[in-house]
């Protein structure tokens, strides 16, 4: 495949700029992503669309809302009747009947409200479960480049805090908003039906209330979005601190970490104060306008009673309706604030869900079944950041069953080559093929099932030893897991654990030694039975005895497989079939150990500098390990 064809196949000639300006995986984005709300209506439409599967349940919910609202409006009307028709005439029997009717009405309203709350809670939690699942599922499709740009804590905030804000609105505020609006309309209808002039007087403050909600609500939404972005940054800092707690303690950096936390925490406080100031302004201002409305009604109503144009019962009914009228308005102000928080959270969630996966299978992607293991890099170019190349015009072939050693200084591009082979990132130019198939034409799942990776920094899950090994092949039986552990020289230490294979590991396998974690990683790779093996400094940090155990397990694992070995100790890869010397993203030398020494070039200088620095005993130990990594 030519470079031009590769560009057309890949759809781009380079990758997007890394936000941190630092090429390579693992870089972290500092500073919050503070943005204003962009599309409120569109976000609301998408949010409400999550409720579509439950539309018939929602019909029942809103029917109960109507029932509870109508019954709530009947109560004040019955109170007016009780005053004018029965209390004024001393009719105790009639008064008792009205009072019992009022009790029945309010009880029915409460039952309807209870029913709608139960149904809405179920709908909202189920819809959030699906939304949470969809978000998590989408995150699994995104490339490592996306995770390089977003701190893990910030992404966790979207899965927790933002979705919680949405859940609260759907479970409580949607029905309350509908009930409040329906109550307002119903009260207006009842007011105008009872007395036109009193109803008109009650509407004097309504435009002011609506204007207040509109002006302050816009600012509230913006500040709540900023606040949630800051919370995401704080979570990112916490996640990083917890993960690096040993390093923090080892270097005595507790004070500096606390200073950094205080800085971010102060930012959260500052933005939170602004958001809550605007949020808390609405209810008291609405209360002032509501009391002003009551004052207007009392003055006008008293005058109309004196003039004989209204009865005391009518005024009492209007007073009750006015209080009910003001309560939904005040409540709508609170609901509006919570709605802004939910919209801000929904925008952040949908922002992630709208991020397109960079590495996707083509519609006609090929399945990868039997693999011989011939790997070829054909004029490969790659950079984590545009115009900052990390791999430059790299070409080589690894024949099936051969061992290829990758050596070179730190930052030369060795690990990047592995990231490209596993298709964690797509190349910018050229092609990488396995048995003649461009890996971009293969199904990613099939490709990665054929690759086994043993890294220096082994990741273990907070599960049992059995399940951690089984991660290499989830359908493996217990007997197959035990057989893999035996081949990896791991069974001996596993049997000594408190519960053997069923011993629960702490986070990242912290209750095991580094060598034990490496043996479990090898057992996992043995169980996966890959056609192509990648070993990245797998024994560089263990003692002599453990290294011998790991080395023996690795030699069994590598037998008959195409293997890529990344090594810094050059004396340990002397028996590799081919050594590729990488410097600044280019292959500067290639050959066997003896051939490269004879050239007296870059490899020779690296080897001799290490050889002179080693103690004789150490050299002897390494010479007995033909392929230690």
Q: Is residue 428 part of a domain?
A: yes
Taking CA atoms, 461 is separated from 441, 504, 506, in Å, by: 32, 9, 8
Both 232 and 325 in one domain: the answer is yes
pLDDT of res. 614? 52
**Would 516 be classed as within a structural domain?**
no
Q: Of 136, 35, 9, 2, nearest to 347 (Cα)?
A: 35
- What's the CATH number where 442 sits? 3.40.50.300
Domain shared by 387 and 334, yes or no: no
Answer yes or no: do 400 and 330 share one domain: no
- Helices 40-49 and 312-353 sit at what angle, rounded to 10 degrees? 90
**Residue in this structure with the two tokens 């590799």, named with its chain if needed:** 576
Residue 559 lies in a domain: no
Q: Which 8-state DSSP code applies to residue 383?
A: -
Q: Which residues of 214-236 are buried (b: 16+ CB within 10 A; e: fewer)?
A: eebbebbbbbbbbbbbbbbbbbb
CA distances from 98 to 93, 109, 152, 159, 323 (A): 9, 16, 62, 52, 21
245 domain residue, yes or no: yes
Is residue 347 assigned to a domain?
yes
pLDDT at 432: 92
Q: For residues 334 and 342, what is the distance between their CA atoms, to the nearest angstrom? A: 13
Spatial CA neighbour of 362 closest among 417, 426, 453, 434: 426
DSSP class per residue in 520-558: HHHHHHHHH--SEEEEESTTTTS-HHHHHHHHHHHHHHH
Indicate whether 275 belongs to any domain: yes
Give the global pTM: 0.62
For residue 233, being part of any structural domain is answered with yes
* Judgement on whether residues 203 and 336 belong to the same structural domain of the protein: yes
Residues 261 and 405 in one domain: no
- Residue 555: its pLDDT value, please? 77
Question: Do 230 and 302 share a domain, yes or no?
Answer: yes
Q: Go through 150-166 and write b for each residue having 16 or more CB atoms within 10 A of its CB, e for each that does not.
A: bbebbbebbeebbbebb
What is the Cα–Cα distance from 244 to 300, expressed in whole angstroms? 70
578's CB contacts (< 8 A; 6+ apart) are: 396, 398, 402, 403, 404, 405, 590, 591, 592
CATH number at residue 183: 1.20.1560.10
243/276 same-domain check: yes
pLDDT for the residue 531: 86
Last residue of a domain, one of 353, 387, 409: 353
Q: Of 353, 385, 417, which residue is a domain's last?
A: 353
Residues forming beta bridges with residue 398, ordered by sequence position = 375
Q: How many residues does the chain have?
A: 629
CA 73, 74, 77, 78 torsion-angle sign: negative
pLDDT of residue 395: 92
Q: What are phi and psi of 25, to 5 degrees?
A: -70, 155
Tell me the Cα Rg of the chain.
Answer: 35
Answer for the pair 223, 34: CB distance below 8 angstroms, yes or no. Answer: no
Q: By the 8 A CB rule, do 320 and 83 touch?
A: no
What is the spatial distance between Cα 224 and Cα 348, in angstroms, rounded to a whole number? 12
Residues with Cβ within 8 Å of 333's Cβ and at least 6 positions away in sequence, in order, are 212, 213, 282, 283, 286
> Which 3 state secondary structure label does DSSP give 434?
strand
Residue ranges, the chain, pLDDT below 50? 1-37, 615-629
**Structural domains counted in the chain:** 2
Residue range of the domain that includes 303: 40-353
Look at residues 73, 70, 74, 98 and name the one whose alpha carbon lies nearest to residue 84.
Answer: 98
Closest CA to 348 of 135, 133, 129, 174: 135
Task: Please report the pLDDT score of residue 23 as a whole number.
Answer: 34
Give the integer Cα–Cα distance in Å for 151 and 434. 33
Whether residues 75 and 202 fall in one domain: yes
* 297 shares its domain with 399: no
Task: Say if residue 292 is in the same domain as residue 439.
Answer: no
Residues 312 and 169 in one domain: yes
| Tokens read off for 525 | 């790779």
Report the greatest alpha carbon distance in the chain. Answer: 121
Asked whether residue 244 is domain-assigned, the answer is: yes
Question: Is there a single domain that holds both residue 380 and residue 333?
Answer: no
**pLDDT at residue 541, as a whole number:** 55
């Amino acid at each position: 495949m030519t470079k031009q064809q590769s560009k057309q196949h890949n759809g781009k000639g380079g990758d997007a700029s890394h936000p941190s300006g630092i090429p390579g995986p693992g870089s972290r984005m500092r500073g919050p992503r503070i943005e204003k709300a962009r599309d409120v209506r569109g976000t609301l439409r998408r949010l409400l669309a999550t409720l579509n599967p439950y539309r018939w349940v929602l019909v029942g919910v809103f029917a109960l809302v109507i029932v509870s609202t109508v019954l709530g409006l009947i109560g004040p009307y019955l109170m007016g009747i009780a005053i004018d028709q029965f209390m004024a005439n001393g009719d105790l029997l009639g008064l008792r009947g009205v009072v019992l009717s009022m009790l029945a009405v309010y009880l029915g309203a409460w039952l309807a409200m209870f029913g709608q709350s139960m149904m809405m809670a179920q709908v909202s939690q189920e819809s959030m479960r699906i939304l949470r699942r969809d978000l998590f599922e989408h995150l699994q499709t995104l490339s490592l480049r996306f995770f390089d740009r977003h701190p893990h804590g910030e992404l966790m905030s979207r899965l927790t805090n933002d979705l919680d804000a949405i859940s609260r609105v759907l479970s409580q505020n949607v029905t309350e908003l509908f009930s409040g609006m329906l109550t307002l309309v119903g009260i207006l209808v009842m007011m105008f039906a009872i007395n036109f002039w009193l109803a008109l007087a009650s509407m004097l403050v309504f435009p002011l209330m609506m204007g207040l909600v509109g002006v302050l609500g816009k600012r509230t939404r913006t500040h709540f979005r900023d606040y949630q972005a800051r919370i995401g940054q704080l979570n990112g800092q916490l996640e990083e601190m917890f993960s690096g707690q040993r390093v923090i303690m080892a270097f005595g950096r507790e004070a500096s970490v606390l200073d950094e936390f205080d800085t971010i925490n102060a930012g959260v406080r500052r933005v939170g104060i602004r958001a809550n100031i605007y949020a808390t302004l609405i209810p008291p201002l609405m209360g002032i306008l509501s009391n002003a409305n009551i004052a207007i009604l009392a003055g006008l109503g008293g005058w109309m009673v004196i003039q004989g144009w209204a009865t005391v019962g009518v005024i009492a009914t209007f007073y009750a309706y006015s209080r009910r009228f003001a309560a939904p308005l005040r409540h709508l102000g609170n609901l509006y604030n919570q709605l802004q928080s939910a919209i801000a959270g929904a925008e952040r969630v949908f922002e992630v869900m709208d991020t397109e996966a960079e590495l996707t299978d083509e519609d006609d992607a090929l399945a990868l079944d039997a693999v011989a293991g011939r790997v070829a890099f054909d004029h490969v170019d790659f950079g984590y950041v545009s115009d900052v190349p990390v791999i430059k015009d790299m070409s080589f072939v690894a024949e099936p069953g051969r061992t290829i050693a990758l050596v070179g200084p730190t930052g030369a591009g060795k690990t990047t080559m592995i990231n490209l082979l596993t298709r964690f990132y797509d190349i910018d130019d050229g092609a990488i093929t396995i048995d003649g198939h461009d890996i971009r034409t293969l199904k990613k799942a099939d490709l990665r099932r054929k690759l086994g990776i043993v890294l220096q920094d082994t990741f273990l899950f907070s599960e049992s030893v059995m399940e951690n090994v089984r991660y290499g092949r989830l359908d493996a039986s217990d007997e197959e897991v035990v057989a893999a552990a035996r081949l990896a020289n791991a069974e001996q230490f596993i049997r000594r654990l408190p519960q053997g294979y069923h011993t629960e590991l702490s986070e990242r396998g912290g209750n095991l030694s580094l060598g034990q974690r490496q043996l479990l990683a090898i057992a996992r790779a043995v169980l996966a039975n890959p056609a192509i093996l990648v070993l990245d400094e797998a024994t560089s940090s263990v003692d002599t005895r453990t290294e011998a155990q790991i080395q023996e397990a690795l030699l069994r694992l590598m037998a008959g497989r195409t293997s890529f070995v990344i090594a810094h100790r050059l004396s340990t890869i002397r028996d590799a079939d081919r050594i590729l010397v990488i410097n600044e993203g280019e292959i500067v030398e290639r050959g066997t150990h003896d051939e490269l020494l004879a050239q007296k070039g870059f490899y020779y200088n690296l080897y001799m500098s290490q050889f002179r620095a080693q103690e004789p005993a150490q050299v002897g130990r390494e010479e007995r390990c033909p392929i230690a990594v």
